[in-house]
A and B are shown apart, each in its own frame.
Chain A
Amino acid sequence: MAHERCHWSRFRLKSRSQGTVDQLKTIGRELAMGSQGSSKDFLDLVKAIGEAKSKAEEERIVLAEIELLKKRIMEPDVPRKKMKEYIIRLVYVEMLGHDASFGYIYAVKMTHDDNLLCKKSGYLATTLFLNEDHDLIILIVNTIQKDLKSDNYLVVSAALTAVCKLINEETIPAVLPQVIDLLGHPKEHVRKKAVMALHRFYQRSPSSVSHLLTKFRQILCDKDPSVMSAALCALFDLVSSDVKAFKNLTASFVSILKQVAEHRLPKAYDYHRTPAPFVQIKILKILALLGAGDRHTSENMYSVLLEVLKRCEPGKGEPATNISNAILYECICTITAIVASPKLLGMAAEITSRFLKSDNHNYKYMGIDALGRVIQINPDFAEQHQLAVIDCLEDQDDTLKRKTLDLLYKMTKSTNVEVIVDHMISYMRTLSDAHNKTEIASRIVELAERFAPSNQWFIQTMNQVFELAGDLVPAKVAHDLMRLLAKGAGEDDEEADSLLRSSAVESYLQLLGEPKLPSILLQVVCWVLGEFGTAGGTHSADDIIGKLCDVAEAHPGDTVVKGYAITAITKICAFEIAAGRQVQLLPECRSFMDDLLASHSTDLQQRAYELQVFLGLGPDIVQKVLHVNGSGEEIEIDTDLPFLQEFVDSSLANGARPYVHENERFEMSSGMSSFVSTSRTQQEPSHALRFEAYETPTVHTPSASSSAPPSLLPDFQEKKPESPRSLRNQLAADNSQVDLLGPEITRLRLDGVQKKWGRPSAPSQPPPVTTSNFDQEIERSGNGGSGVSERASSNRESTPAVHVYTEKKKAQPEIPAEKQRLAASLFGGSSGKRDANGVKGSKPAPNRPAAGNSKEKIPSTAQAPAPAPLMDLMDMGGGDLFSAPVAKASYDPFKELEGLLDGPSTAASTSTPAAPQKSSSIDFMSLYDSTPVVSHNTVPSTNDHDFLSLGLTSSSGIEPMNRPEAGLLDLNEFPANSPLAGLAGLEQSSSSSSTSLPERKGPSLQDSLQKDATTRQVGVTPTGANPALFQDLFG
């Protein structure tokens, strides 16, 4: 058959007569039906799917197909070929998003087939359909075991492929011995797959192959390069999990990399003339792991890294290819990961610069990433590229923008935080999906907390974050914000504090005008209005109460907001009463309160009752209980509890056991004892040993029997309205002074709280007055939970990452002033302002960054490039190399197709003209056809007329589209050309790289003809519904 086709194709090249066409059509049909083994049914299905115009149409086709298959597949004695086809059709059904589970069992059965193609198709379908925990897996294990023993190595490797996808942890032992045996198989193809199967076992269950570590080392030395490279996959995982154990392999990796880089592998491993690039990259990744933080190991890599770098550098006048740039990028990653020499670092920096200066967005992206790595080692390096970074930041390209924000996030310090956070916020405005928003919001919060220049700024930033990200922000952030307002700047500057508060009140009143606010922001708003709404004197109590009622009314379903609102109203009323004014509740407020009095939520009820009580109390009591600006006050705790002395004495006199200090009770760590004290029941001295874990003390419950005074906990943590216990505390927290029992101690003690934002008040934690457990307990709660202190320490740890860049003055006048300013604010910052030792907010004067440095001169090299020209479609990497001659040609609708012609060697990245490559294709053409109908040099400009194959050139020069009779006949004219034109295209595209063209095109001639025949047989024509189906991917 092959011979016949070959003959036919040669014949076709020379003859165009009508008779031949008819004859060929018949042959084509035979070919389609016979050798392809595809039935008309299948071809029709593919055709229908291919031509479906809409998702709905596709859906209909697939649903009909499911019905059909359900009937057919169950028929008895379906011939094997037919069954194979059904299974592929099932694959289609699932690929297009529908359930084909009714046919899974047939796919499993197909794996038993003796025919290799059927077996392989069965395995393929099974791996596509089933996950490794599916019930049918057990049925297939037996088949796999049998196939692993087969004499036919293709059967063995098909089974090994299936092993990688189907064998789960439990079934590993069933095949493991056989797989290990296959490591010694004479066929490298099988050895390679066996290694990958072991790799899979390792991924599934590391312990299953833990005894095989030496095997992996041995395979690394396999004489076949592809087996060796498979071993690298496994070793990469092994090394990542335990670097130390593999340090002694460093020399082997280095020597393999050296050999690969020196082109010792067979040419077939080349990709675009680069020797086994994916192997190089994999080894570089492993070296990065091995050399990290290890000078000695790193030093052994220096020479090979230099070698790799050198060989990837493009020769003079040659463009760097995508693939060599990929290796260069990987080198940067390795160099910045290991303990590198200055020389290597210099080279890494140089390559990074080159990436950043490229017009190609892919390279810019890699450059930004590389820059982030290089500045971890050499912070000064960022400055040279400030303008390139700003260009990327302002680019329309979302990916690039995001990557740049990642970089800036790493570079943030107190001098540039405002600019960077501004950018992040405006970027957040453009986002719609929750995943991204959450991520960026948490970054903003983190930066703001670490570097905020002023409280005012912090509050405004947080408001924006709440507004944009709403409930994606953790509640803790809101509580921190409230505490900040309550506490003020932490210095004795009442005026500044009240200014801050009144500005917060104003901004929140304004905010309430917005239609939709997230619940968490409303909580903050209510709290602030309640606490400070009337404090400035600019707003009357009625105003504020009215607003609060509106808020509650607008959110009938949100009990938390309602709770905040009613408590805020309570506070305002209390302030009014305390000030001696008569409080006449607004009717709407009255009805709101009445509603809550009958609420199902006990929390809301309690709050409403409290309001009611307050309204009936006289000013002097109220003043004691709730007075203006009480929230920020400290609660002083007299831990000696002298007022209980009498009670204790009388109890002792009555025969009670004396109190034994818990330190004396258990000889345990003091940390432990403080936990214990929170739970009364466990304090019996007889309980010397406890085996259960201690509960984490979250909320301190004042217990009646306790000798401790009722406590007021400044609990700003997340509420759980369902639990009455925590409700009580919550309420107390909100009001912070509600407790009537111990007014003399109702002061929040917050001075132990480390500030996470704002000005650098001494962040130190004053030593606790006493070591009593109760005191510690208060302090812990006062910190808003353990999170704060953890955060504090993590801040300290992470601050070394904050880099400061020294200024270098460089004359560069022609850069737009705006950019200069931006650059200065991002990268500037004199050393005096550096946040060097990372003590948070050591002296962040507000408003500093932009103005001070705006006169700074900027280096010219990174000047803003002109807007990049539109690149052609396929040219992802190549920038303007090919797009220039082609894409600018015209605006005809095929323009985009033209671009495709330029195909594969997108790789290239610089702007060398492509002419020499075009001409080189001529030789190949002549190999195939003595009467070349295609003028090679015109390929790029004329081929766009053809719709059968992008690479096809119309020899007549008439646009077939326009011919009325265009159709089958025209089609028949073209196939002969198509391989040639395709060749031209291919050659042009890969001329820089591939040396194997003749052999590549050998089979394709026949195949493409056969393909044409097939398509004609099906009746899919280029003028049909979806001409794109015929486009050569390579143009």
Chain B
Amino acid sequence: MTIRFVLLVNKQGQTRLAQYYEYLTIEERRALEGEIVRKCLARPDNQCSFVEHRNYKIIYRRYASLFFLVGVDGEENELAILEFIHCVVETMDRYFGNVCELDIMFHLEKAHFMLEEMVMNGCIVETNKQNILNPIQLMDKTT
């Protein structure tokens, strides 16, 4: 049960956040992101939120201008990942308040910190929003 990467891409196909749980070189990432984005963004909204690409299965969800894409491998519960994406967005929304693309861009590291709390070693470890945000908010206070 592994998440291989989490990608945030806007509808122009520009990467807004990328977290890989396996190492890929910059060139590999670039190529992969290009292919995936082309594939996912071209799909009409009524189609499945899942796309198979190479050895990945990509589960994606669109929020306003931003696409959240999660690449998984093997036997993964696609619906659960779809909801996990939503959980990520809810968490960001709780932290930023009406989160928008620009929030994530301005606070890239915060968005990463949240993701670090939620996913480790490609596994979903935490979905309790209090637990996720606590350390980040504590840090905000001290700095």
- The judgment on whether A and B are partners is yes
**Which residues of A are at the interface with B, using a C-beta cutoff of 8 A?**
36, 38, 43, 46, 49-50, 52-53, 55, 58, 88, 91-92, 94-99, 115-117, 120-121, 124, 128, 131-132, 154, 157, 161, 164, 189, 192-193, 196, 199-200, 203, 225-226, 229-230, 233, 236, 268-269, 271-272, 276-278, 281-282, 285, 322-323, 325-327, 329-330, 333, 361-362, 364-366, 396-400, 402, 435-436, 868-877, 897, 900, 904, 906-907, 949-951, 978-979, 982, 986, 990, 996, 1000-1001, 1003-1008, 1011, 1014-1015, 1020, 1028-1035
In the complex, residue of chain A having the shortest beta-carbon distance to the beta carbon of B116? A161
Once bound together, how far apart are the Cα atoms of A94 and B120, in whole Å?
21
Beyond A50-B101, A365-B50, A399-B48, is A322–B125 a contact (Cβ under 8 Å)?
no
Question: Do A871 and B94 touch across chains, with their CB atoms under 8 A apart?
Answer: no
Beyond A325-B79, A900-B63, A1032-B99, is A189–B86 a contact (Cβ under 8 Å)?
no
Of the candidates B26, B52, B66, B121, the one whose C-beta lies within 8 Å of that of A203 is B121
Question: Do A132 and B121 touch across chains, with their CB atoms under 8 A apart?
Answer: no
Give chain A nearest CB distance to B77 CB in angstroms: 5
Once bound together, how far apart are the Cα atoms of A361 and B49, in whole Å?
8
A and B contact pairs by CB, cutoff 8 A, 12 listed = A46-B102, A55-B13, A115-B143, A236-B1, A281-B80, A282-B1, A361-B46, A874-B61, A900-B64, A949-B98, A1028-B65, A1028-B101
Of the candidates B12, B30, B98, B121, the one whose C-beta lies within 8 Å of that of A978 is B98
Question: Do A1008 and B98 touch across chains, with their CB atoms under 8 A apart?
Answer: yes
In the complex, residue of chain B having the shortest beta-carbon distance to the beta carbon of A985? B98
Bits for B7-32, please: 1 = Cβ < 8 Å to A, else 0. Answer: 00011111101110001001001100
Question: Do A1014 and B82 touch across chains, with their CB atoms under 8 A apart?
Answer: no
In the complex, residue of chain B having the shortest beta-carbon distance to the beta carbon of A870? B46
In the complex, residue of chain B having the shortest beta-carbon distance to the beta carbon of A981? B98
Beyond A50-B101, A132-B23, A233-B121, is A874–B79 a contact (Cβ under 8 Å)?
no
What class of interface size applies to chain B in its complex with A?
A: 35 or more
Taking CB atoms, residues of chain A closer than 8 Å to B139 are: 116-117, 120, 154
Taking CB atoms, residues of chain A closer than 8 Å to B120 are: 161, 164, 193, 196, 199-200, 230, 233
Of the candidates A43, A230, A876, A1033, the one whose C-beta lies within 8 Å of that of B101 is A1033
Question: Do A876 and B49 touch across chains, with their CB atoms under 8 A apart?
Answer: yes
Taking CB atoms, residues of chain B closer than 8 Å to A121 are: 109
- A-B pairs, top 7 by smallest CB distance, nearest first, are A1004-B97, A1028-B65, A326-B79, A1031-B64, A131-B23, A1033-B63, A1008-B97
Taking CB atoms, residues of chain B closer than 8 Å to A269 are: 127-128
In the complex, residue of chain A having the shortest beta-carbon distance to the beta carbon of B42? A398
Question: Do A271 and B135 touch across chains, with their CB atoms under 8 A apart?
Answer: no
In the complex, residue of chain A having the shortest beta-carbon distance to the beta carbon of B54? A435
Taking CB atoms, residues of chain B closer than 8 Å to A1001 are: 97
Question: Do B97 and A189 touch across chains, with their CB atoms under 8 A apart?
Answer: no
Question: Do A95 and B17 touch across chains, with their CB atoms under 8 A apart?
Answer: yes
Give chain B nearest CB distance to A225 CB in angstroms: 8
Question: Do B83 and A907 touch across chains, with their CB atoms under 8 A apart?
Answer: yes
Once bound together, how far apart are the Cα atoms of A236 and B95, in whole Å?
31
Question: Do A271 and B82 touch across chains, with their CB atoms under 8 A apart?
Answer: no
Give chain A nearest CB distance to B118 CB in angstroms: 10
Question: Do B102 and A52 touch across chains, with their CB atoms under 8 A apart?
Answer: no
Question: Do A400 and B47 touch across chains, with their CB atoms under 8 A apart?
Answer: yes
Taking CB atoms, residues of chain A closer than 8 Å to B99 are: 1032-1034
Question: Do B116 and A124 touch across chains, with their CB atoms under 8 A apart?
Answer: yes
Taking CB atoms, residues of chain B closer than 8 Å to A268 are: 128-131
Taking CB atoms, residues of chain B closer than 8 Å to A230 are: 120, 125-126
Question: Do A399 and B98 touch across chains, with their CB atoms under 8 A apart?
Answer: no
Of the candidates A88, A91, A281, A1032, the one whose C-beta lies within 8 Å of that of B64 is A1032
Once bound together, how far apart are the Cα atoms of A323 and B80, in whole Å?
6
In the complex, residue of chain A having the shortest beta-carbon distance to the beta carbon of B96? A1007
Question: Do A278 and B131 touch across chains, with their CB atoms under 8 A apart?
Answer: no
Give chain A nearest CB distance to B34 CB in angstroms: 9
Once bound together, how far apart are the Cα atoms of A128 and B130, in whole Å?
25
Question: Do B142 and A36 touch across chains, with their CB atoms under 8 A apart?
Answer: no
Taking CB atoms, residues of chain B closer than 8 Å to A1000 are: 93-94
Bits for B130-143, please: 1 = Cβ < 8 Å to A, else 0. Answer: 11001100110011
Taking CB atoms, residues of chain B closer than 8 Å to A52 are: 14
Question: Do B125 and A226 touch across chains, with their CB atoms under 8 A apart?
Answer: yes
Beyond A124-B112, A362-B79, is A233–B123 a contact (Cβ under 8 Å)?
yes
Question: Do B131 and A1020 touch across chains, with their CB atoms under 8 A apart?
Answer: no
Once bound together, how far apart are the Cα atoms of A322 and B129, in whole Å?
19
Taking CB atoms, residues of chain B closer than 8 Å to A869 are: 46
Of the candidates A154, A271, A868, the one whose C-beta lies within 8 Å of that of B127 is A271
